[in-house]
Structure 1
C-alpha cells in the first residue's frame, strides 16, 4: 500500500507511480463497505455517497469542507476525534482519488445521522416498495432501525416514503393527466364488456357523489331511470303543483315506474358489496390514480378467474349460494 501523504502535503503533486489503486465498486453490502488510501471514484458525487454510506455504517457524524471542483474533505464533527478523509482529482483530471484517510475513530456510535437525508432514505425505500407494494410507515421505521441502526424522525420517513412511491408508481399529478387516455385504452382493449342494456349492468354507489355524472360521461346514452324521473318531476311541479303535492304523500316506489324493477330480485338490501370491495382495495387507495385503477382491475380479473374455476363443475342456472338459499326456503315452506 502506498504511504499516505501528510495532511499538510495533501495538495502537493504526487510522484509518478506504477501502482494500481483499487476502484470503488457500488453495491457493497451494508456493513462490508470499506475505504482506503488510493481508492478511485468516477465522480465527486460517487465519493460523497460512498463516504455517506460508510459513516452511516460506522454510526458517526461528519461534515464536508473544502468543497470545490478539485478537492473535498470530510471530518468527524466531534472536535477531539482525528477521523478524516480527503480526496481530490487525480493528475489526469479523469477521476477522484483518496489521498488521506485516518480511520482511527474513537467516538461512541450514534443512531441519529444527518447524512441519512431524505434522498438517501428514499433510495433505500425504492427496493422495498417494489418488493412489498403495501410497505407502510411503521415497516420503514423498523427496517432502518434493524438494518442500519438508525432512528429517523416520522416526518423524514413520510417524505422519503412518498418520494420512493413516486419513483416506483409514478408521479401522482402526472397520473391524473393520463386518466382519460387510460379510460380510452380500456375501451379499445375490452370492446368492452358487452352492451350495458343487453347485459343489464348495475352500478352500485357507496353513497359517493358524482357517480351519475361519471357514468353518463362514459356512456352518454345510458338509461338512468332516476334522472328521467327527476326531469318529469320538475315538469309536473311546474304544470300542476297540486297534483305533485298529492303524489308526494305516497312512497315513490308505490306509484312511479322509475322505481320499479323488472329484473331478478336480490334479497340484499344493504351496501355490503361496496363495503367488502372497499376493504379489498384499501391499500391500493393510497396509491396514485392509475396504479390504483390497475390494482383494482387485476383484483377483479383474478376474482372472475377464480370464480370461473369454481363453477366449472357446477350444474344449474343459479349460483351455489343462491341455490342453497332457495333450497332452504323450499324446505321451510314445505
Structure 2
C-alpha cells in the first residue's frame, strides 16, 4: 500500500540534495545560472558602474549588428579542423578553459567562465554575447591581453573556444563582473533551501571567505529572493504533478491503494516495513499526514489491514515503539495481532530518563536476546542487581513486550 491521507495528508514529492556551505561551489557546477548581461542589473560593488556596463554592452551589440557575423568561420589560431581530432569537453567545476575546448551551448560556456572566475579570481566581463557566440575580456585594464572567444563551429556542430589568450597583465582587484545575482542564488540554493532564514550578510561573508571576491549585501538580498523563487517554483512544479505521481505508483504497483491530498503545512511520515524469512526488510506502506495522532494511525492501519487482508490480526506480529496513539490504533483495528515492542526504542527511552547515568547496556541486550525462559530470567536478575531503580522503570514498560522480540515469551 502506498497511501496518503486524503483529508489532511501532504505529499513530500521534493527530494532536495543536501549540501553544506562548504559545498557551494559544487552546487554551482550543476545549477549555475548566468543571466543575460543586458537584462540583469549590475550592481556588484554598490557603485554606479551598472549603467556604464549596460551602455557598453548596448554599444557592442549595435556594432555587431552593423558588421557581418563571421563567428561560424574557425579562426586560424584555433587549429581544430584536422579531420581526426578528438575535442576536449567541459569538465564542470574544474575551472579550466583552453583553446579548442567544446561546449553543448553558450550557456554551458558561460557556466565554465564562472567556474574559471571562482577558481582564478580575475575580474572579467562579456564583450560579445548571443546565441551563437560569446567573448570574455579583462574588466580592469583595457590593455590586458586576456581574451576568450567561443562560437558555434559548423563542422562539429558544437560551440568551441576559438581564441584563448590567458595571460593577464593586470592585477586582481577582488571583484568580478560575471558574478551576478543569479550565480550567487545558485551557489547558495541548497543552503537557503535548508535554512530559509539564511541572512544575506552571512551569504556575503561566506562567499568572500571562500573565493576572495567581493560582493555586495544588495546582491545577496536579490540572490536570496531569486533562490526562494527557484525553490518555490520547484515545489509548485512537483506538487502540480501529484496526480501523475499517483498514477505512476498504481501503474508500477498494481492493486495498491494510493490516496493523494495536499495541505499547506509540514507533515509527519508514517511507515510500515516488512521482514521476510531471510531477515531482509522491505517497505510495505507509507503516508505523510498532518500530524501523528490516534486518528491518523487508525486511518493508516485501516488501509494496511485492508490491503494485506490482516482481518483481526490473528497470526501476524507487529513490532513498534510505545507511541500511545499507535498502540491505541493497533488495539482498535488489530485486536488479535501479536504486538511487540522495539527493544532499541525502549533502551533509548531509558537513556533519556537517566541522562548521564551509566546504563547496563550489555545486561539489557542479554535480556532482549535471550532464546529461552531460563536464560531470560537470569538476565533479568542480573539487571535488577545492577540497578534496582532502572530495573523498576523497565518493568513499567511491559518487559514481556520487549523480551518476546527475541525469545517469544
TM-score category, normalised to shorter length: 0.3 to 0.5
* More helix per residue: 1
Higher strand share: 2
- Scaled by the length of structure 2, the TM-score of the pair is 0.39
Point out the structure with max Rg over C-alpha. Answer: 1
TM-score (normalised: structure 1): 0.47
